């Protein structure tokens, strides 16, 4: 399957079937991990919340708590609870269900704030996306080491500006950050809900990498169990995800078999677009 076809699949699963004004059905793509990808559930929940708005209002934050894993062989139900509806403010809760079981609860807030004070964290100084290799090049020879990356649906193009974990591990180093250029593998509709959903989908990739690369470990090379427990995105500016954006992530702390990944999305001019914090259970079995 071509990368453009993978992207078409992403757009297809972000097109939810509406059952009634507060209930939506979401499908899975053709390639899935053992359990439903958390970024997919969050992105679909974000779309469900956005389609329920009475007034077009930009998102300010999304927060998800993962409770149980989803079965990729079955559709997902998205139940929207309308918590607040005003012209400049809105809040939604989306419960992601399957067979009567609650899988994930997602809170989305919306705010049209207008002009105000502005400042932002500085982006790292790195190579432009055209100057670094596509991930397909970085996976060559490692297909059996990291098959869950090599065989995954890849609707988003990734370009690491540093060695990814599996190459870093071969070189025997450590790395306290991961920086990846990202863009959609095809043109996107002029729909801010879909651009935001693509960012939410992508925010669940690479964000936990720095937990293990800080210790010189890698997926595939080392026996690592990792699962996300909660995930939050704060949106700062309108997003175009069919243009290059930089996802720069670090891990400030790991303790009690849990690790925190934090990150910022930047546009090519260096403006911060979104901030991400994810907690995951991460266990290493030497």
Could you report the per-residue pLDDT of 71-116, keeping only the tens digit for each? Answer: 999 999 999 999 999 989 999 999 999 999 999 999 999 999 888 9
Q: Answer yes or no: is 120 within a domain.
A: no
Could you report the per-residue pLDDT of 171-224, keeping only the tens digit for each? Answer: 999 999 999 999 999 999 999 999 999 999 999 999 999 999 999 999 999 999
- Interhelix angle 3-13/192-203, rounded to 10 degrees, is 110
Q: Answer yes or no: is 17 within a domain.
A: yes
What total of structural domains would you count in the chain?
Answer: 1
What local confidence, expressed as pLDDT, does residue 3 receive? 61
pLDDT at 1 over 50: no
The CATH number of the domain holding residue 232 is: 2.40.160.210
DSSP state of 241: T
State phi, psi for 188 to the nearest 5 degrees. Answer: -110, 150
Beta strands in 50-173 (DSSP E): 59-66, 76-85, 89-98, 101-111, 156-160
In DSSP terms, 183 is beta-bridged to: 157
What local confidence, expressed as pLDDT, does residue 206 receive? 93
Mean pLDDT to the nearest integer, 163-169: 95
Q: Answer yes or no: is 89 within a domain.
A: yes
Structure tokens at 224: 């690592």
Q: Identify the three-state secondary structure at position 284.
A: strand
Angle at 171 between CA 165 and CA 175, to 5 degrees: 45
pTM above 0.85, yes or no: yes
What local confidence, expressed as pLDDT, does residue 2 receive? 54
Domain that holds residue 29: 3-115+127-284
Q: Answer yes or no: is 35 within a domain.
A: yes
Q: Answer yes or no: is 121 within a domain.
A: no
Angle at 107 between CA 47 and CA 117, to 5 degrees: 95
């Amino acid at each position: 399957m071509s990368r453009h076809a993978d992207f078409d699949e992403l757009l297809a699963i972000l097109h939810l079937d509406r059952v009634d004004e507060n209930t939506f059905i979401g499908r899975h793509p053709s390639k899935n991990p053992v359990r439903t990808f958390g970024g997919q559930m969050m992105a679909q929940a974000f779309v469900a919340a956005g389609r329920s708005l009475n007034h077009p209002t930009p998102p300010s934050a999304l927060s998800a708590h993962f409770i149980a894993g989803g079965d990729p062989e079955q559709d997902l139900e998205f139940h929207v609870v309308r918590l607040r509806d005003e012209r400049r403010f809105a809040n939604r809760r989306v419960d992601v269900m399957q067979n009567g079981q609650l899988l994930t609860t997602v809170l989305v807030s919306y705010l049209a704030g207008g002009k105000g004070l502005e400042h932002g964290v500085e982006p790292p100084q790195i190579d432009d996306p055209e100057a670094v290799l596509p991930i397909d090049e970085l996976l060559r020879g490692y297909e059996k080491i990291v098959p869950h990356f090599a065989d995954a649906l890849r609707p988003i193009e990734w370009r690491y500006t540093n060695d990814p974990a599996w190459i870093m591990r071969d070189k025997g180093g450590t790395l306290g950050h991961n920086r990846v250029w990202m863009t959609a593998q095809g043109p996107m509709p002029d729909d801010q809900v879909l651009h935001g959903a693509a960012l939410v989908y992508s925010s669940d990739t690479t964000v936990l990498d720095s937990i293990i690369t800080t210790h010189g470990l890698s997926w595939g090379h080392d026996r690592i169990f990792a699962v996300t427990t909660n995930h939050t995105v704060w949106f700062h500016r309108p997003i175009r995800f069919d243009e290059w954006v930089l996802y720069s992530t670090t891990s400030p702390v790991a303790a009690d078999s849990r690790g925190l990944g934090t990150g910022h999305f930047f546009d090519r001019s260096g403006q911060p677009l979104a901030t991400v914090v994810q907690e995951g259970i991460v266990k290493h079995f030497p």
